[in-house]
Chain A
Amino acid sequence: MAHDSMNELPALARVFTCLSLLTVGGGMAAYPELKAQTVDVHGWLTLQQLDYLYGVGQAAPGPNMMMIVSIGVLTAGFAGALIVLLAFFGPTALLACVVGRLWTRLEGRPWTVAVQRALLPVSIGLLLAGCFTFAKGALTGWMTSIIAGMVFVILLRTTMNPAFLVLAGALIGIVAFGRG
């Protein structure tokens, strides 16, 4: 795996730049394409690895797509991690900077209002689609479905910090699946 991993750097840069442009509303919107590119097209990791890392990423602090760094490491070591980070956050940061400076001229224009309004339902749709794609891979049986259902209900009814629930999921996983 390591001997030709440097050849993957251009592909990593390309894929994660494209992915970053799809994260409207949140990182989950890009998940179906993330899965398609990293698992199906390039085979950088298995679907199980992707879903496990995505799960761990939900418990990490900061912006919630930092698990892409793990994909970079697995694929091409430190260089891979660095490329992925720059590709995923660089172009969108530049765009935000430029639009932020032009905002006084864009704000309130009919088409700006229409785009803002249109992105509300479309981004929710993309996030939901990402959730369903992720669920299809991560829910492997009745036990994982129960864990997901419990976390879902607890989060809708309480203000508990989700990071604790992800850790609780790890403990339940060890008890439920750790027979090997």
Chain B
Amino acid sequence: MARGSNRASDGPRVGVGRIFAAFLLIGATSFGGGAIAYLRDTLVVKHRWVDDETFLELLAIGQTLPGLKATNVAVLAGDRLRGAGGAVAAMAGVCLPGAVLMYIVGLVYQAERQRPLLEAALEGVAAAAVGLILATTLKLGRTSFSRIDDVAFILLTVVCVNRLFIPVPYVLIGVGALAVAWYGSAAAKWRTIP
């Protein structure tokens, strides 16, 4: 039963169809970002498929890996609930509504590229999005802005991308390695003191 996995069979065995339906609902209703909150409501509160501790663990894994937090958590939860089939169902469900919507937007945009009213609306939308993503980022980074080493790594990253125009992959690997070395040794030192 627990073929190739020591954790996938721990949770309740939920049907693939039910997993897909639950994640489809999240994918269709989680307007305005914050899909994580919708995921928690559905998985922990509504269906009680995972407990809070497990959800936080999934979130910690999802944040550490590349990929969007929401889709990573969906995959991880689906896998815990019903193995690979559950992971695929969760992923497909959470992505489908937004993907269909943006597919239609792409088609409409292609067809109506010359409409000045649409362009005007989209200019306002893009401007509003600037305020939205900046506010989201600041909220997300709130705890990091009070530590000097955190701020130094944030500034270094921003300068590398926005001033030195170094491509993001190199910045991620370069500054990332520096930061791992820094926090790794800081943690090691900290551990030897007591």
How far does the alpha carbon of A130 sit from the alpha carbon of B137 in the complex, in Å?
Answer: 10
Contact A103/B102 with A92-B72, A118-B179, A149-B131 known, Cβ cut-off 8 Å:
no
In terms of DSSP, what is the predominant structure of the interface of chain A?
helix
Q: Is B44 part of the contact surface with A, judged by Cβ < 8 Å?
A: no
Would B131 and A165 count as touching, CB distance under 8 A? Answer: yes
Annotate A106-146 by CB proximity to B: 1 below 8 A, 0 otherwise.
Answer: 01001111111111111011111111111101111001110
Q: Are B187 and A129 in contact (CB under 8 A)?
A: no
Taking the closest CB of chain A, its distance from the CB of B170, in whole angstroms, is: 10
- Binary CB contact string for chain B from 1 to 25 against chain A (1 if under 8 A, 0 otherwise): 0001111100000000000000000
| Interface check A83, CB cutoff 8 A | no
Beta-carbon contacts under 8 Å, A23-76 to B: 23-30, 32-33, 36, 49, 51-74
A172 within 8 A of B: yes
A31–chain B nearest beta-carbon distance, Å: 8
Q: Confirm or deny: A101 has a beta carbon within 8 angstroms of a beta carbon on chain B.
A: yes
B98 and A147 contact, CB distance less than 8 A = no
On whether A151 and B71 interact (CB within 8 A), knowing A110-B187, A118-B180, A132-B162, the answer reads no
Assess whether B140 is in contact with A124, with CB atoms less than 8 Å apart: yes
5 closest A-B pairs by beta carbon, nearest first, are A173-B124, A125-B157, A169-B128, A151-B131, A92-B67
| Residue A6 CB within 8 A of the other chain | no
Known: A58-B133, A138-B127, A156-B138. A22 touches B121 (CB 8 A): no
Is there an interface contact between A114 and B31, defined as CB atoms closer than 8 Å?
A: no
Given known pairs A22-B168, A180-B117, the reply for A71 and B106 (CB within 8 Å) is yes
Please determine whether B33 and A173 come into contact, CB atoms closer than 8 angstroms. no
A66 and B125 contact, CB distance less than 8 A: no
Q: Given the complex, which residues of A lie within 8 Å of B69, measured CB to CB?
A: 25-26
Tell me which of B80, B106, B154, B176 contacts A74 (CB under 8 A).
B106
15 contacts between A and B (CB under 8 A): A28-B137, A52-B119, A69-B102, A70-B105, A93-B71, A104-B7, A129-B160, A130-B133, A131-B130, A138-B130, A147-B128, A154-B131, A162-B32, A170-B128, A180-B120
Is B75 a contact partner of A100 (Cβ separation < 8 A)? yes
Contact of A165 among B80, B106, B132 (CB under 8 A): B132
Q: Is B125 in contact with A96, judged by CB distance below 8 angstroms?
A: no
Please give, as numbers and ranges, the residues of chain B lying within 8 Å of A168 by CB-CB distance: 128
Question: Within the assembled complex, what's the spacing in Å between the Cα atoms of A135 and B4?
Answer: 46
CA distance A89 to B87 in the complex (A): 12
Chain A interface: which size bin? 35 or more
CA–CA, A7 to B27, complex, Å?
Answer: 32
Contacts A73-B106, A170-B124 given; indicate if A59 touches B31 (C-beta within 8 A): yes
Interface string of A150-163 (1 = CB under 8 A from B): 11111110000111
**When the two chains form their complex, are residues B97 and A61 in contact, meaning their CB atoms are under 8 A apart?**
yes
Q: Pick from B117, B120, B131: contact of A147, CB below 8 A.
A: B131
Q: Is the CB of B175 within 8 A of A97?
A: no
Q: At the interface, yes or no: B28 with Cβ under 8 Å from chain A? A: yes
A174 and B107 CA atoms in complex are apart in Å by 21
Residues of A within 8 A of B175 (CB): 122, 125
Beyond A22-B172, A114-B184, whether A63 also contacts B125 by CB under 8 A is: no
Q: Is A81 an interface residue (CB 8 A)?
A: yes
* Beta-carbon contact of A53 and B61 below 8 Å: no
Chain A residues closer than 8 Å to B144, beta-carbon distance: 120-121, 124
A153 to B132, CA, bound (A): 9
